[in-house]
Amino acid sequence: MEGSGFLKKHCLKDTSTNSFDSCDYLSVLPDPLLLHILSFLPMKDVIKSSFLSRRWRSLWMYVPTIDFTSWWEPEVSKSVDRFLAYYKSKKIQKFCVSCSSKDVVTIDSWIHFTSRRDVEELYLDFSPRNDKDSSNEEVYGNEYDGRSDEDGSNEEVYGNGYHGLYKLPFSFFRSASLRVLTLKCCALNLPSSVSFTLLKTLCLYALEITGNMFKILTSGCPLLEDLTLRNCNSETDLDIFVANPHLKRLEINEYKISGRIEIYAPSLLMIEFTRRMERNDYSSVKKLPLLVSAKFDCNEMDDDIWEDEISTFSKWAELLGYLHVKDLKLCSWFIQALSINEVQDFTGPPIVATHLELTTGLGKWELPGLAYLLRNSSNLETLTLNVEESIQIDLQGTFGDDYDFDEQNYWKVESIPLQHLKMIRVNNFMGGYSHFRILSEEKILSDANKQLKFMKFLLRNSMILERMIIKISRETKIRELVDEAALLFKVTKKLLAFPRASPIAKVLISY
């Protein structure tokens, strides 16, 4: 197939030029490479490839990735059924589908089909939006799902609220090939024991995980390294139990949640909180003895801060004190939450991190939070600043007026000796604007000046600083509004002229 004879079959020789300008080079490629290329295409295009030529006629039947998550036909289950009826490969690398939870028997057959072909990555999405009529009554109502109790009816375990969710059969929880598993909006119908011997990545979205289900599930995943929980137990307490010795990363992504959270993961190395943090208590993070990295990316928190909420904001500073991590990453909202503590002269616990990575727009109500972090991080050795446009909190009532401060001269009056800071990295300097933002030259110059003031403060207070590396933004919008060369020259001149506390400090600017 791959020899010179095959090459000639796929080339139309131009006798006038004695060349092969019309050669079909793609069809010359070996099957494994063509199948790899097909795996990146939408399923409709994969199937259409069969019309290209005889060479392609049956190739799609062996594609290693089957992805029906973007197939927006109402009868997606019929499309999947037709595809699987023609499928001939003995091995499936990845199987992804988004569909209604009502087609129980059909979904069961897909799971059986993929398990017999040693699927390595499985993505099952039964979100209500996949239903033709996604009313709550139909999706979560008391429908009989057609499966006998012998394969795991869970009426007693889950109660009436979960009858409309797809219930995974007991046979699903035994696999010697699965490495990545994502489940969305279904009922965990666990047997007494689980066996995912090779599973390393587990993502659970909008599931109710009660009792000892976490313990049963994760104890059957001896190689589990990465766990993501998104809006699980939205109205009840979330008790996370993962005793696995290989667990490295836990991400908790939540929105409009209530209840408390408890985490038992003695081997965990990295934890991430994303979107919102609305649980009653996060103090269980202090029970994570091996944790080295923590990230808080909660920029979907409410921007309006009411006076009766102010007294609760000390919990965010206390949370950082619980974390004995070397690497700490904070978003703009978290920094602003710390500002509320700082302006009230709240004495927070020390932060032991040696590396801080802060995403900030250097807005007014981020400045005290930045000062709080620098003052309480006595071990800080490396500081990374990611400049991005930030949404500023809106302090309701009189708090903003009672604790107002001079934004323009804030860093002039602050003095925070940074005894151990050796490296400062500033990414996207003079950038980070929203794509739809209406900008002006005045706005760009004003923001550049705010950032320069903070750079000046850092250079003045970093006693043993070795390097400050500044990467200036290359955003097209900025170049369209200002004389870029003149602005860069002015900024560079200022940066290099700032006084430095460290005699060995170097300022490196990258354009």
Tens of pLDDT, residue by residue over 347-389, are 889 999 999 999 999 999 999 999 999 999 999 999 999 999 8
Looking at residues 45-49, what average pLDDT do you find?
74
How far apart CA 468 and CA 459 sit, in angstroms, is: 8
The pLDDT of residue 22 is 54
Q: Quick check: helix, strand or coil at residue 387?
A: strand
CB atoms near residue 246 (< 10 Å): 13
CA distances from 91 to 112, 117, 221 (A): 13, 5, 22
How far apart CA 258 and CA 318 sit, in angstroms, is: 20
| φ/ψ of residue 489, rounded to 5 | -65, -45
| Residues 117, 49 within the same domain | no
Looking at residues 238-250, what average pLDDT do you find?
95
Beta-bridged to residue 395, according to DSSP, are 305
pLDDT digits 0-9 by tens, 59-87: 777 888 888 887 555 678 888 888 888 88
Q: Please report which confidence band the pLDDT of residue 433 belongs to, taking 50, 70 and 90 as the band edges.
A: confident
Beta-bridged to residue 167, according to DSSP, are 187
| Residues 56, 103 within the same domain | no
Which of 23-32, 140-149, 269-278 is the most confident on average?
Answer: 269-278
Tell me if 147 is assigned to some domain. yes
Whether pLDDT at 404 is above 70: yes
Domain boundary pick from 182, 199, 216 = 199
Tell me if 267 is assigned to some domain. yes
| Residues 95, 187 within the same domain | yes
Tell me if 251 is assigned to some domain. yes
Which residues lie below 8 Å from residue 266, measured CB to CB, with a gap of 6+? 243, 288, 289, 290
How far apart CA 459 and CA 195 sit, in angstroms, is: 55
Beta-bridged to residue 270, according to DSSP, are 249, 293
Whether pLDDT at 240 is above 50: yes
User: What is the overall mean pLDDT for the chain?
Assistant: 84
| Residues 119, 187 within the same domain | yes
b vs e for 9-18, b when ≥16 Cβ sit within 10 Å of the residue's Cβ? ebbeeeeeee
* Angle of helix 367-376 versus helix 332-343 axis, rounded to 10: 80
Domain boundary pick from 159, 181, 199 = 199
The pLDDT of residue 306 is 81
Tell me if 223 is assigned to some domain. yes
Q: Are 51 and 58 in contact (CB under 8 A)?
A: no
Q: Are 372 and 341 in contact (CB under 8 A)?
A: yes
Looking at residues 464-488, what average pLDDT do you find?
81
How far apart CA 298 and CA 99 sit, in angstroms, is: 30
| Residues 54, 124 within the same domain | no
Residue written as tokens 């909008």? 206
Tell me if 502 is assigned to some domain. no
The pLDDT of residue 16 is 47
The pLDDT of residue 29 is 73
Between CA 337 and CA 345, with CA 339 as vertex, the angle to 5 degrees is 125
| Residues 193, 224 within the same domain | no
CATH of the domain at 48: 1.20.1280.50
Which residues lie below 8 Å from residue 500, measured CB to CB, with a gap of 6+? 459, 460, 462, 465
Burial of 312: CB neighbours in 10 Å, binned 0-12, 13-18, 19+ = exposed
Give the total number of structural domains in the chain: 3
| Sign of torsion over alpha carbons 32, 37, 38, 40 | positive
| Residues 136, 230 within the same domain | no
| Residues 182, 225 within the same domain | no
The pLDDT of residue 25 is 67
Tell me if 452 is assigned to some domain. no
Q: Please report which confidence band the pLDDT of residue 141 belongs to, taking 50, 70 and 90 as the band edges.
A: very low
Whether pLDDT at 116 is above 70: yes
Residue written as tokens 């923001």? 447
* Percentage of residues of the chain with pLDDT beyond 70: 84
Domain boundary pick from 183, 199, 215 = 199
How far apart CA 372 and CA 377 sit, in angstroms, is: 8
> What range defines the domain where residue 215 resides?
206-291
- pTM equals 0.83
The pLDDT of residue 459 is 98
| Residues 129, 190 within the same domain | yes
Tell me if 141 is assigned to some domain. yes
| Residues 191, 214 within the same domain | no
Q: Please report which confidence band the pLDDT of residue 196 belongs to, taking 50, 70 and 90 as the band edges.
A: very high
Whether pLDDT at 198 is above 90: yes
How far apart CA 337 and CA 311 sit, in angstroms, is: 11
Q: Are 464 and 420 in contact (CB under 8 A)?
A: yes
| Residues 285, 247 within the same domain | yes
Tell me if 175 is assigned to some domain. yes
Helix, strand, coil shares of the chain as percentages rounded to 5?
35, 20, 45
| Residues 107, 191 within the same domain | yes
The pLDDT of residue 320 is 93
